[in-house]
């Protein structure tokens, strides 16, 4: 019943992830374009995502159909297994205990549905890890952040505003919309309407505002769009056209669970910090980043809340207080190698992980390296980078879109078509395929290994070339005597 959106992976592939053997050919339908084999594109993607962690990420972001999710109710025998686990370790009474001040849009049923959408949250571990303990710790971690992001922040001794004397960590989910904003206000539209890849992929809807909504206060069209794609079978427009759904339906909690499960490489997914699927790289360790609640702060808002300069800042101090209060109340053990704080950590935004061989990335960008043997020196490949782009390694089909520059994000990238069967090579276009050589033609395209004859001398192409006279190209040119 699961709709698994899994990446294609090739575990143990020996091909280097930095480049792959690509053999683009001129496009017979486009005089300035090229075609490339779908098999080569697929093999290149698999080689670049061969690390088993890509499969783990994809599994974590697998989703159930909304028709199943919206049938979830507390106590039903038909509830998915991960939902039943939540009901066992965090009951309706636990929910009520932490949500006395919550907005009415947040309910336990919607909480269960949000979790039911993502089977990996509170899912089953079959390798000896304690599934119930990880589930409970995940929920309590989420609530510590809810208490900061959308909490009441009312002192326990403020009787007039807090007559029940609630701890601040019991005051989560008070706000469903960002304070000061309401539906009908077209706020947070920075960048909307521009002729760029973000608007081509996630176009803003006229009159809509993308201010903070839900438990995670989802903001901006470049976050509403990706979340909509996950929730609605790849359709970004559902929430871009109707962002109020993130406030008024179970999506108000699902947006937070989605964020909890999504790596923002090089930052890991929060779940994988908690369940220790993630292993910090040496550079992260050197920057003070390891296991514990502090790293989840760094993932959420490290640039503002982590580092020595933010040690006594209100937001991280609050989060840590809430986590410590919640973990003590729910008997969540803190392991010896876990740190609740992040003042001793370098914020991820200030940590240069480029080139680190033990760090994985999740977004595709054009590979701009020069390849002399390929047409125009273009790679015709994409590579993984540590910032948001139009194409995600966690979205099936995005690598092909990157290669073909689907959202026009690569300036001056040649037009590329991916085809199932490559067109036959035109002997007139590649005369060098004749083993005895043909006379050189200044208008012809020659690929690596093609041979031509000029004034009785045979030359072999060292890489793709057009218009370079073999007699005058010199030793550094594209031809060598054969």
Catalytic (active-site) positions: 149
Give one DSSP letter per residue of 267-307, joined into a string: BPPHHHHHSS-----HHHHHTT--SSHHHHHHHHHHHHH-S
d(CA 437, CA 440): 9
> Can you tell me which residue has the tokens 């962002």?
243
Over the Cα atoms of the chain, what is R_g? 27
d(CA 259, CA 151): 18
Closest residue by Cα to residue 346 from 393, 298, 381, 416: 298
Entry field: residues in the chain: 482
Closest residue by Cα to residue 85 from 56, 60, 112, 58: 112
Q: How far apart are the first and last CA of the chain?
A: 61
Show the tokens assigned to 332.
Answer: 């969540």
Closest residue by Cα to residue 108 from 74, 145, 70, 135: 74
**Residue 415 gets which letter from DSSP?**
P
d(CA 72, CA 88): 15
Phi, psi at 123, each rounded to 5°: -80, -175
d(CA 462, CA 449): 6
**Residue 436 gets which letter from DSSP?**
T
Using DSSP's 3-state secondary structure scheme, residue 473 falls into: coil
């Amino acid at each position: 019943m699961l709709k698994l959106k899994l990446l294609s992976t090739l575990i143990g592939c020996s091909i280097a992830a930095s480049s792959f053997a690509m053999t683009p050919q001129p496009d017979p339908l486009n005089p300035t374009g090229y075609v490339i084999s779908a098999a080569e594109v697929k093999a290149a993607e698999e080689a670049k995502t061969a690390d088993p962690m890509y499969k783990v990420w994809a599994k974590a972001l697998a989703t159930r159909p909304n028709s199943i999710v919206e049938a979830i109710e507390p106590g039903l025998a038909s509830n998915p297994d991960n939902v039943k686990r939540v009901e066992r370790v965090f009951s309706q009474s636990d929910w009520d205990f932490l949500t006395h001040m919550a907005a009415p849009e947040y309910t336990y049923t919607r909480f269960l549905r949000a979790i039911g959408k993502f089977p990996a949250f509170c899912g089953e571990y079959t390798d000896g890890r304690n599934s119930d303990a990880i589930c409970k710790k995940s929920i309590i971690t989420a609530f510590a952040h809810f208490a900061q992001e959308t909490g009441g922040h009312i002192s326990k001794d403020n009787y007039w505003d807090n007559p029940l004397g609630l701890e601040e960590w019991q005051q989560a989910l008070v706000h469903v919309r960002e304070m000061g904003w309401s539906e009908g206000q077209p706020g947070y539209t920075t960048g909307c309407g521009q002729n760029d890849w973000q608007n081509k992929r996630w176009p803003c809807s006229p009159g809509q505002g993308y201010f903070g909504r839900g438990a995670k206060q989802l903001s901006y069209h470049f976050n509403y769009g990706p979340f909509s794609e996950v929730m609605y079978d790849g359709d970004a427009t559902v929430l871009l056209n109707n962002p109020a759904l993130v406030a008024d339906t179970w999506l108000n909690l699902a947006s937070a669970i989605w964020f909890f499960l999504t790596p923002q490489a090089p930052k890991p997914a929060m779940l994988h910090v908690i369940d220790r699927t993630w292993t910090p790289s040496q550079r992260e360790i050197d920057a003070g980043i390891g296991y514990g609640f502090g790293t989840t702060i760094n993932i959420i808002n490290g640039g503002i809340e982590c580092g020595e300069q933010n040690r006594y800042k209100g937001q991280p101090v609050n989060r840590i207080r809430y986590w410590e209060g919640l973990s003590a109340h729910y008997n969540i053990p803190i392991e010896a190698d876990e740190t609740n704080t992040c003042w001793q950590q370098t914020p991820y935004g200030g940590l240069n992980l480029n080139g680190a061989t033990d760090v994985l990335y999740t977004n595709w960008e054009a590979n701009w390296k020069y390849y002399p043997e390929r047409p125009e020196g273009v790679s015709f490949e994409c590579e993984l980078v540590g910032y948001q782009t139009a194409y995600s390694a966690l979205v099936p089909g995005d690598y092909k879109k990157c290669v073909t520059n689907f959202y026009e994000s690569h300036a001056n990238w040649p037009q590329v078509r991916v085809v199932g069967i490559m067109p036959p090579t035109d002997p007139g276009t590649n005369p060098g395929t004749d083993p005895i050589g043909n006379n050189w033609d200044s208008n012809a395209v020659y690929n690596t290994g093609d041979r031509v004859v000029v004034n009785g001398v045979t030359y072999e192409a060292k890489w793709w070339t057009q218009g370079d006279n073999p007699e005058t190209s010199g030793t550094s040119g594209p031809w060598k005597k054969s």
